[in-house]
Amino acid sequence: MKYLLGSKKEFYDFVNSISKEDKVGIITHTDLDGIASGIFLQKILESRNIKIEFIEFLDYGSDVLKNVLKKDYTKLFFTDWNADNFVEDFEKLKQKGNVLVFDHHPLNENLKDKKGIMKTESKYCSAHALFDLAENYFNTKDFEWLVCCAIIADYTWDVEENFEFIKSIYPKTKKQDIWNSEPGKIGSKITNALIYYKKNLKRVYDLVLKKDFGELEKVEKIINGEVEKWIEKFEKEAEYYFEKNLYFYYGNPKYKITSKVASMISTKNPDKTIIFVSDVSDKNDFVKLSARNQSGNVVLGNVLKNCIKGFEDADASGHDKAAAGGFPKKYLNEFKKRLLKEL
C-alpha cells in the first residue's frame, strides 16, 4: 500500500517539529477508522511526551469546520477526514497554525496549495497507515486487534495484502465469513456503540483505548435490533430502478444507522447502487445520504459530487464503493433526477 501525496518522512518531520509550547489538537472522523486513527495518533504523540489539548470527533457537513476555526491550536491534525474538500475553511485553518491532514479519501484536485496534506490509497485506510507509522514510536502489538477491526469495518480487507495481514494475526479468518471473524465481531460492537453514543463519542473512544468491551456489548442488541428492522423496511419499501441497478430509499431511523444499513444491503446486493436518505436531526430541512456499490463499476464519490453541483450548502465525498453527502431537502427531487442520469 502506498502514499499518493506526502510521505512517511513528512509525517515524521511534522511530529518532530512539535515543541512543548505548542497547542496540539486532533480532529478525526466519527466511524471506527476515525476512532482507531485518533488512538494511534494519540499514542504516537504521547510516546514523544507531546500533550494533546483537544480531540474532536467530526462528521461531514457543509459548515462543519466553522467550530474547528474557533479552536485554539498551533498544530492541528486531521485523521480520516478530508479537510481538503472544504477549501475556504481549510485555508483559514492553515492561517491559524500548522495543519497536517492524514487521510485516505480522494484528493480534491481543485485545491491549489497541497502543502500539509498526506493521502494514502483508498484501500489503505487511515488507521492502517497510522498503525504502520506507529511502529517507529511504540510497541504496537497490543493494538493489532484494533487495526484489524478498522480494516474490516472500512471494507479494505478485500485487498489481498490487507487480508493476509489480518490472517497473520487471526489465522482462522475467512473472506466468505469475515464479519463473523473475531475482529469483525469486535468491530461491529464498536460501530454499534458509536451509533448509540453519537453525542458522546469520547466515551466510546476511551472504552476502545482501554479495550473495555463490557459496556459496548450492552448496546449491541439495541442497535442490531434497529438495523435489522430498517433492513427489512428498506427491502420492502425502497424504490428500485431496474435499468440503473439502483435502490433508492428515504426514511428516518431513531439512531444514526443509515450507513450501516446501506453497507449491509450492499453486501447482499454487490452489483446494485444503494442510496439511503434521511433527515438531519439537528439541522432543519436538511437531508444526508449514504451510498454504496461494491461492484467497482460506479465511482460513487464522483457521482454524488456531480449530483449536488450548484446546490446551496451541499457537500459530498467518499470512495469509489462508499460515499456520503448532504444538502437542503428542497433539492431532493432534483438530486434523484440527476442521480438517475449519472447512473
> 202 and 58 in one domain?
yes
CATH of the domain at 311: 3.10.310.30
Which of 60-69, 125-134, 294-303, 321-330 has the highest mean predicted lDDT (pLDDT)? 125-134
- Across residues 14-22, what is the average pLDDT? 96
| Number of folded domains that form the chain | 2
Write the single-letter amino acid at 307.
C
CA-to-CA distance for 45 and 149, rounded, in angstroms?
Answer: 22
> 178 and 151 in one domain?
yes
Separation of CA 69 from chain center: 21
With a cut of 90, say whether residue 214 has pLDDT above it.
no
Instruction: Express each pLDDT in 156-187 by its tens digit.
Output: 999 999 999 999 999 999 999 999 999 999 99
pLDDT at 110: 81
Residue 71 lies in a domain: yes
pTM above 0.85, yes or no: yes
Backbone angles phi, psi at 294, to 5 degrees: -85, -5
Q: Are 106 and 304 in contact (CB under 8 A)?
A: no
> 255 and 202 in one domain?
no
> 258 and 184 in one domain?
no
Cell output for 19? 515543541
CATH of the domain at 95: 3.90.1640.30
Question: What's the Cα-to-Cα distance from 98 to each of 3, 60, 145, 327, rounded to whole Å?
Answer: 21, 22, 32, 30
Instruction: Express each pLDDT in 113-134 by its tens digit.
Output: 899 999 999 999 999 999 999 9
> 168 and 31 in one domain?
yes
Kindly indicate the confidence band of residue 296, based on its pLDDT and cuts at 50, 70 and 90: confident
- Count CB atoms within 10 A of the CB of residue 323: 25
pLDDT at 61: 73
pLDDT at 74: 98
pLDDT at 117: 96
Handedness of CA 231, 235, 240, 244 (dihedral sign): positive
Residue 39 lies in a domain: yes
* Residue range(s) defining the domain that contains residue 10: 3-212
> 192 and 292 in one domain?
no
Structural domain ending residue among the three candidates 183, 212, 241:
212
Residue 31 lies in a domain: yes
Handedness of CA 123, 105, 55, 130 (dihedral sign): positive
> 96 and 30 in one domain?
yes
